[in-house]
Structure 1
Amino acid sequence: MQAFIKAISYHLPQQQLSNAELSALFPEWGVEKIANKIGIDTRHIAAMDEFASDMAVAAAQKLFTEHSINPAEIDFILYCTQSPDYFLPTTACIIQDKLGIPVKAGALDFNLGCSGYIYGLALAKGLVAAGIAKNILLLTSETYSKFIHPGDKGNRTIFGDAAAATLISTDGFAAIGDFELGTDGKGAENLMVKQGAIRYPDKNADSVKDGYGNQQSPGHLHMDGPEIFAFTSQAVPGLIADTLVKNNLDKAEIDQFILHQANQYMLEHLRKKMEIPAENFYIYMANVGNTVSSSVPIALYEAMEQKPAPAHAKWLLAGFGVGYSWGATVITF
């Protein structure tokens, strides 16, 4: 049975962090320097008492309202986050109750970052194809801001908090194609919050400055920018090529490429390396930042708002990052 994306909505926290505010905290980083290099003007930040599940619930409620969806029709919840409310229980179970989704619905969490939306689409398609569920609510929600050291100017300029909600069903506006997925755990330590879970439960308050002047500690988000850039530059072109082969398509047949919105510099590097025309390569991050697993659905939503896809248009979606983990698929309108 074919699976389709039927509806998308997203939610942003009210609080914002602008380049001007960051520049005031880190005077060596001017407003224009941040905007030109990162491609982000402002990012939304979850409040102290606002958590990933709260944003996921808000995104789902927005989805239900905007698209006239009855929660009683949902028969599975997939919740992607790397900032769960608790070690246990599964946050998707709590979300089911808050949204009034039937108790007969399945619900699970999965821990992935920037590739999470693509993996979620793959899981949802599998549930539909196997006849296990007909209406899957895929939620992505992340509060990386709660992991970032206040003195880490690099990561604070990049990441924003957000949640997205997608309904995958047996009908909809875009058919979900075949997937190319990949994993390389050798790169795990290059993007990691090392302390706070079971292996290293005690957070170490001691922090040091890295070679770029960013304050970091093992209890906060660590990102080795050069290593992540090298991984992305090597992995993504192959990912795109293999995804096209899986879907029996040529690059020229793709009307729009929507990649994980990492940062402007990285995306432009990838676009030029893969020789994709700018008009076929969508970027949306200036007002939201890198929202991790929600970056692809947010960009997809905004792309459809700005230039609706004609019938039979083919858009390639790709995510890549922490893990290392990567994935891509093609959707056909």
Structure 2
Amino acid sequence: MITTGTARSGRPSSGTAILGTGSCLPSHVVNNTEVGAGAGVTDSWIRGKTGIRNRRRAKPDEATSDLAVVAGRAALEAAGVRASELALVIVATSTPDYPQPPTACVVADGLGATAGTAAFDVNAVCSGFLFALNTAEQMLKGADSRYALVIGADIYSRILNPEDRRTAVLFGDGAGAVVIGPARQGRGLVAGRLASFAADRDLIEVAGGGSRFPATAETLAAGLQYFTMNGRGVRDFVNTNVVPAISAFVTDAGHRVEDLAHFVPHQANGRMLDDMSAALGVPDGRTRVSYEEFGNTGAASVPVTLDLAARSGELADGDLVLLAAFGGGMAMGLSLLTWQGPQHGRAH
């Protein structure tokens, strides 16, 4: 159970809803044979360990903001909302365009948001989108505009050691976005929970490039610019902390896991998701996945998976949906919502 470092919120079901979704997945496909060659593993090894078959890679001249703009524009179009109507643009990423300015400012400008729109980044690694979504929902209560654009976007291919089989085979590049705004009665975000487990922060890290170890010839030679992960430690963290926290969260919100029409988890690893869904008791066929074709897209994985489900027609008006993510920090974000399907005219 979570006892400290937790923010909880219960919300009336007629507050804020997801009005539209969007995603951007680069066109370049990297299969297991290609990525496995550098890491010294085979296609069958990767599929057996992770369930991943392919992942996408950004072009050399593409940055995180480029993917985020495309995803954000698609979400705005789906919602029937103009960029000039946004109170907030929040980009969740741990692979920003630059140390500064915020990638969200690049995105807001690219989308044509007004000068009054607040734009900022959130870094909670793979949990970032859920941290941003819960933050945006709370901030809209005091905003002049009723709308916010929340984007998860990462280009992990830039920070992976291609020889490290623990990480190189897992990650893909991508961006996913949602527009949130006024909910119809009985629809929208029901509850959210954020938590950090800071004592476990060394399970996932990029040690170099910050103020602790600024980029130098020595840090580059030591490989400190690369993403590293203790895979066994992360699995233990999920089993010990995330699974029971999800169960408690759903119960506290007045529901049962069996009530879920859709479980949209962070796409960390297919085998891990199978184990998590089974441990939670998620009914067969209700866990939404994208990892087989797109791998782990970091902060983008939940909104990308949600967008794919929405655009395929899997999400029906009134469905109970659980979004769940975990990642470096260690951190965990959860959101429970009653899906709001589109109506004629504006999607909301």
How far, CA to CA, are the matches of 1:50 and 1:269 in structure 2? 35
Match for residue 19 of structure 2? 6
For residues 131-158 of structure 1, the C-alpha deviation after alignment (integer angstroms, 9 at most, x for no partner) is 4541101111111111111212221110
TM alignment of 1:220-239, pairs within 5 A: 220-239=226-245
The correspondence for 2:192, drawn from 169, 173, 179, is 179
Task: State the one-letter code of the partner of 1:303.
Answer: A
How far, CA to CA, are the matches of 1:302 and 1:95 in structure 2? 22
Match for residue 72 of structure 1? 84
How far apart are 1:41 and its partner, in Å? 0.9
The SS at the match of 1:155 is coil
How far apart are 1:245 and its partner, in Å? 2.8
Match for residue 206 of structure 2? 193
TM alignment of 1:198-209, pairs within 5 A: 198-203=211-216, 204-207=219-222
Q: Structure 1 pair 22/94, CA: closer, same or farther in 2 (3 Å)?
A: closer
How far, CA to CA, are the matches of 1:100 and 1:262 in structure 2? 33
TM alignment of 1:260-275, pairs within 5 A: 260-275=266-281
Are 2:42 and 1:30 equivalent residues in the alignment? yes
How far apart are 1:274 and its partner, in Å? 1.9
Task: State the one-letter code of the partner of 1:189.
Answer: D
TM alignment of 1:239-278, pairs within 5 A: 239-278=245-284
TM alignment of 1:68-147, pairs within 5 A: 68-147=80-159
The SS at the match of 1:63 is helix
Stretch moving more, 267-276 or 318-327: 267-276
For residues 76-135 of structure 1, the C-alpha deviation after alignment (integer angstroms, 9 at most, x for no partner) is 111111111222222222222221111111111111222112111111110222345411
How far, CA to CA, are the matches of 2:311 and 2:112 in structure 1? 29
For residues 307-333 of structure 1, the C-alpha deviation after alignment (integer angstroms, 9 at most, x for no partner) is 533342211111111110002121102
Task: State the one-letter code of the partner of 1:124.
Answer: A
- Whether the aligned pair in 1 keeps the contact of 2:21 and 2:74 (CA below 8 Å) is no
How far, CA to CA, are the matches of 1:267 and 1:196 in structure 2? 31
- Whether the aligned pair in 2 keeps the contact of 1:3 and 1:129 (CA below 8 Å) is no
- Whether the aligned pair in 2 keeps the contact of 1:81 and 1:142 (CA below 8 Å) is yes
Match for residue 169 of structure 1? 181
The SS at the match of 1:269 is helix
Task: State the one-letter code of the partner of 2:239.
Answer: S
Match for residue 312 of structure 1? 318
Q: Structure 1 pair 242/149, CA: closer, same or farther in 2 (3 Å)?
A: same
Match for residue 301 of structure 1? 307
Q: Structure 1 pair 63/309, CA: closer, same or farther in 2 (3 Å)?
A: closer
CA RMSD of superposed structures (Å): 1.9
The correspondence for 2:74, drawn from 62, 87, 112, is 62
The SS at the match of 1:6 is strand
How far, CA to CA, are the matches of 2:102 and 2:312 in structure 1? 36
Task: State the one-letter code of the partner of 2:211.
Answer: I
How far, CA to CA, are the matches of 1:11 and 1:149 in structure 2? 24
- Whether the aligned pair in 2 keeps the contact of 1:236 and 1:320 (CA below 8 Å) is yes
TM alignment of 1:285-296, pairs within 5 A: 285-296=291-302
For residues 46-105 of structure 1, the C-alpha deviation after alignment (integer angstroms, 9 at most, x for no partner) is 222211111111212233445543222222111111111222222222222221111111
Q: Structure 1 pair 198/69, CA: closer, same or farther in 2 (3 Å)?
A: same
How far apart are 1:8 and its partner, in Å? 0.4
Task: State the one-letter code of the partner of 1:234.
Answer: T
- Whether the aligned pair in 2 keeps the contact of 1:91 and 1:109 (CA below 8 Å) is yes
How far, CA to CA, are the matches of 1:174 and 1:283 in structure 2? 24
- Whether the aligned pair in 1 keeps the contact of 2:92 and 2:128 (CA below 8 Å) is yes
How far, CA to CA, are the matches of 1:23 and 1:311 in structure 2? 41
Task: State the one-letter code of the partner of 1:50.
Answer: E
How far, CA to CA, are the matches of 1:66 and 1:77 in structure 2? 16
Stretch moving more, 165-174 or 55-64: 165-174
Match for residue 214 of structure 1? none
* Matched length: 323
Task: State the one-letter code of the partner of 2:165.
Answer: K
Q: Unaligned 5+ residue runs, structure 1?
A: 208-216
How far apart are 1:161 and its partner, in Å? 0.7
- Whether the aligned pair in 2 keeps the contact of 1:2 and 1:129 (CA below 8 Å) is no
